[in-house]
Amino acid sequence: MNIGTASQRSGVPAKTIRYYESIGLVRSADRRANNYRDYSDRDVETLRFVARARKLGFSVKQCSVLLALWHDRGRASHDVKAVALSHVEEIDQRIAELESMRRLLVDLTARCQGDSRPDCPILDDLAGSRVTHSQRSAAGESGSIPPCHAVAGARSASRSSARSAPSRGGGRSLRRAVSRSS
């Protein structure tokens, strides 16, 4: 079968099949007289195996090891289990890292007022700073309104200017309102 059919049957895109062949993860398909790739049912099974392993998050290197074990009928199942358990440890580590990031972001968003003031613990943390915008301003450093607050300030300014200003020149009123809030 050609690469398109092998792709359909395995669920692996043709470009990915070519990539797997180029890095030696799967054997290169035999070639027909017209130089087109010719895949067998066994090739499709191998591609499905790799696709399933990749969906479970195994790296290409781990897939290579698992494929070798799959093809080795004399394998010991503890070798397969060791690869899987090692991957579980990697997943647990990633989960712990993601949970830590989530806790930090929840804490930062809880501390950010999200109003028209320039203080923003999120930006301060990203800058690696423990000094707030207000503390910098008090020390004489200039600072513009962080974009997340400029948007909030612009929204509240546009609501107030929409009530009191005519439609022409509203953009100038909005800019003045934003610059006054800083």
CB-based contact 158:130 (threshold 8 Å): no
Give residue limits of the domains in the chain.
3-58, 115-180
Tokens representing residue 92 in the block: 């647990």
Fold of 3-58: Multidrug-efflux Transporter Regulator; Chain: A; Domain 2 (1.10.1660)
pLDDT tens for each residue of 4-50:
999 999 999 999 999 999 999 998 888 888 888 899 999 999 999 99
pLDDT at residue 128, as a whole number: 87
pLDDT tens for each residue of 45-57:
999 999 999 999 9
pTM for the model stands at 0.62
Listed as ranges, residues in the chain with pLDDT below 70 are 129-182
pLDDT at residue 179, as a whole number: 42
**Could you tell me the CA-to-CA distances from 45 to 19, 52, 53, 89, 146 in Å, in that order?**
17, 11, 12, 28, 54
pLDDT at residue 136, as a whole number: 57
pLDDT at residue 66, as a whole number: 97
Question: What one-character-per-residue DSSP string does the chain give?
Answer: --HHHHHHHHT--HHHHHHHHHTTSSPPPEE-TTS-EE--HHHHHHHHHHHHHHHTT--HHHHHHHHHHHH-TT--HHHHHHHHHHHHHHHHHHHHHHHHHHHHHHHHHHH---SSSS--HHHHHHTT-SS-HHHHHHTT---PPPHHHHHHHHHHHHHHHHHHS-STTHHHHHHHHHHHT-
Cα(16)–Cα(167) distance, integer angstroms: 56
What count of Cα atoms within 13 Å lies in the side-chain half-sphere of residue 39? 23
pLDDT at residue 34, as a whole number: 84
